[in-house]
Structure 1
Amino acid sequence: MKKLDELKHWFADKNKVMIALSGGVDSALVAYAAYQRLGDSAIAVTADYKTLSQEELQTAKQVCSEIGIKQILLDYDELENEEFAKNDSTRCFHCRIELGDHLLKLAKEQGVNVIVDGTNLDDLGEYRPGIEALRQNGIRSPLVETNFSKSQIRELTKSIGLSVHDKPSNSCLASRIPWGQRVTAEKLARIEFGETVVKQLTKIKQVRVRDLNGSAKIEVEKNDISEFTNGVLDKITEKLKMIGFSSVEVDQEGYKPGKINVIAD
C-alpha cells in the first residue's frame, strides 16, 4: 500500500479539495485517497453535461456512495456550445475548457483552493487535448504527480474494494461521432441506446457504437466479436434501425481507442 500512502500524502497540505469524478477507475482512486486524508474537506464533482451516458452517471454516484464522499452534480448542456457541437479536432479541448470554467466557479462558491482530476501517466502518451485545457485552468493531476500507471490504479482500487476496479475505460458519447460530423441530441440518444442494446444482448462490457453519418458501426474487443452469432446481430440490427440507424455492422478489426478520429470526412 506504499503507493496509496504516497497518494494520500499528496493531499496532506491541501485545505479543501474538489475532485472531478467521472465514474471511471482513475478519478475514483483520487477521490478515495482525498477523502481518506481530508474527510469532508474533499468534495467529488460529476458533470452531467448531456454527453455523459446515464450508465456512467450512475457509476459515479455508486463510487461516491462506496467512498462516503459528498458528491455535487454539475448540470449543463454542452450542445449549447457551438465550438463543441461542430465537432472538429478541438472538440475535447472546448469540452474541457467549459468544464474547467464550471469547476472554477463552483470551487469559489465552495471555498475550495485545489481542483484535481484522474489523469494518469498512461494518458500522457495519447492525443488528449482535453488535458491541456484542464491544465490551463490550473487543475492538477495527483496520479501523474505521484507516478501512477493504469495497472497500478486498477490493482489498488481492487485491493481497497471499489467496484469500478475492473470497469472498462470509457469516454463521452460524442467520441462515437467522427470529427466533422455535427454532435446532436438525436445522435447521442441513439448511440447511448445502441450501446445499451448491444450490452444487454451480448453481455459484452466494452462496447462502442460509432455513428457514421447515420450508419452504426459496432466496436468490441476482437475476442468478443464471436458473440454476434446465432441471430444476435439480427436482433441488434432490428432494434438499432428502429431508433434511426440506417445500417448496422460489426467492425471486424476490433475496438481501438481514438480510431474514429481519422475516419471523419
Structure 2
Amino acid sequence: MNIQTKLQNLKSDIKSMNKLIIAFSGGVDSTFLLKVASDVLKDNVIAVTARSSTYPEREFNEAANFIKSIGARHIVITSEELDIEGFSKNPVNRCYYCKKELFSKIRKIADENNIHYIADGSNVDDLGDYRPGLKAINELGVVSPLREAGMTKNDIRALSKEMKLPTWNKPAFACLSSRFPYGQEITREKLQIVDKAEQYLLDLGFKQLRVRYHDEISKIARIEVSPDERKKFFDEPLMDRIYDEFKKIGFDYVTLDLKGYRTGSMNETINKNT
C-alpha cells in the first residue's frame, strides 16, 4: 500500500469518528495525527496534553505553540506518574501504569464533552518493541488511527515534511522515566538531573540523544547520541566541558555509550533480569 493510500485511509477513518480527542505530546506522531484530524474534523477535535515531572518544559512549550499555530482546542491536565502507587519502583511494566492513569483521565474529559473516541499516536513500528503501555491503551478502548492505517514512522515523517510540519525531522522522544534501568527507583530529583543534562547536550547542538541514569553504587551518566554524532566526542575540550557540567549537575561519573542512541536500549536487559 503506498503512502498516499494510507493517508486517505487515515482521513476516512478519522472522518467516521465525527468527534475525537487526541493524547498530544508534541512529538512526530501526535503532531501529524492532530494536524490531519484538525483538517478533517475542524472544531470537533480536542488535543489533551498531560504535564508531569517526566515531561520536560521544552516539550510542553513546543506542543502548546504548535496547537496555537493551528488554532485547535487544547486541554492541559496534570498526570503525575510519581503519585501512582508502584510507579517510582520502576517495574518492567511501568508504562502500563502511566498510560492507564493518563487515558483514564482523558476518558473523563471525553465523557464530559460527549466524545466517544480517544486516539493515541502509536504507529506500526511501535509493535516491534516492548511496550506495556499498549495493554492499557487496549483495555481503555483507545484507538490508534496511524497504526490502523498501516503507517510507519518513515511514512509519518515523509508526510509531515510534505505538509510542512515543524516536527517532520524532530528527534524521537520518550518520557524521562525511560532513562532509568528497570528496578531502580525514580525520583523527582533524578528526573531533574537527567532533564538538565539532556538540555545541556541539546544546547551544545546534539540532536538525537538520551542520558541514561545508572546508580547501583555511584551516579553514572551513560550518554547515547545518534551514531553519526559520536565523532563529536573526539574533541577533548568538549569532553572536558561535558564532564565538568555533568559533575555540577549531580553525576559522579560520565560515560559515552559506544553503540550510540537506539530506541528502547533499557529493554535490552529485560530477558536477563526476569
TM over 0.5: yes
Q: Match of 1:219?
A: 224
Q: Which amino acid aligns with 2:96?
A: F
**In 1: Cα distance, 2:89 partner to 2:136 partner:** 18
Q: With the length of structure 2 as denominator, give the TM-score of the two structures.
A: 0.92
Q: How far is 1:236 from its partner?
A: 1.2
Q: Match of 1:37?
A: 40
Q: CA deviation at 1:38?
A: 1.0
Matches within 5 A, 1:1-265: 1-201=4-204, 203-213=205-215, 214-228=219-233, 229-263=235-269
Deviation, structure 1 residue 234: 1.0
**Secondary structure of residue in 1 paired with 2:122:** coil
> In 2, Cα distance between the equivalents of 1:162 and 1:109?
31
The separation in 1 between residues aligned to 2:85 and 2:185, in whole angstroms, is 10
Shift in Å, 1:191: 0.2
Q: Deviations over 1:58-87 (max 9, x none)?
A: 221132133321111111311111221110
Partner-residue secondary structure (3-state), 2:17: coil
Q: 209-218 vs 63-72, which deviates more?
A: 63-72
SS of the equivalent of 2:255 reads: strand
Q: Report the Cα distance in structure 2 between the residues aligned to 1:76 and 1:97, rounded to whole angstroms.
A: 10
Q: Secondary structure at the match of 2:8?
A: helix
Q: Structure 2: which amino acid aligns with 1:211?
A: Y
Instruction: Tell me which amino acid in the other structure corresponds to 2:228.
Output: N
The question of whether the paired residues in 1 share the 8 Å contact of 2:176 and 2:194 is answered with: yes
AA aligned to 1:220 is: V
Separation in 1, partners of 2:99, 2:31: 19
Q: Residues of 1 paired with 2:32 and 2:9: CA distance?
A: 12
What SS does structure 2 have at the residue aligned with 1:182?
coil
Render the CA deviation track for 1:98-125: whole Å, top value 9, x for unaligned: 1111111111122211100111111111
- 8 Å CA contact 2:23–2:119 kept in 1: the answer is yes
* 8 Å CA contact 2:79, 2:101 repeated in 1: no
Structure 1: runs of 5 or more not aligned:
none
Partner Cα separation in structure 2 for residue 42 and residue 142 of structure 1: 14
How far apart, in 1, do the equivalents of 2:5 and 2:133 lie?
Answer: 30
Does the CA-based 8 Å contact 1:66-1:162 persist in structure 2? no
User: Structure 1-normalised TM-score?
Assistant: 0.95
Q: Matched residue pairs, number?
A: 264
SS in 2 for 1:13: helix
CA distance in 1, matches of 2:236, 2:82: 39
Query: In the alignment, is the contact (CA less than 8 A) between 1:15 and 1:113 conserved in 2?
Result: no
Listed one character per residue, the Cα deviations across residues 117-159 of structure 1 (whole Å, up to 9, x for unaligned) are: 1111111111111112111100000011111111111111111
Q: Distance in 2 between matches of 1:49 and 1:104?
A: 18
- How far, CA to CA, are the matches of 1:27 and 1:52 in structure 2? 15
SS across alignment from 1:12? helix
* Alpha-carbon distance between aligned partners in 2 of 1:63 and 1:131, rounded to the nearest angstrom: 26
Hey, which bits of structure 1, 4+ residues long, moved more than 6 A?
none
Letter matched to residue 175 of structure 1: S
**Contact conserved, 2:129 with 2:264, CA < 8 A, in 1?**
no
Asked if the contact 1:121/1:149 (under 8 Å) is kept, the reply is yes
Classify 1:263/1:149 alpha carbon distance in 2 versus 1 (closer, same or farther; 3 Å). closer
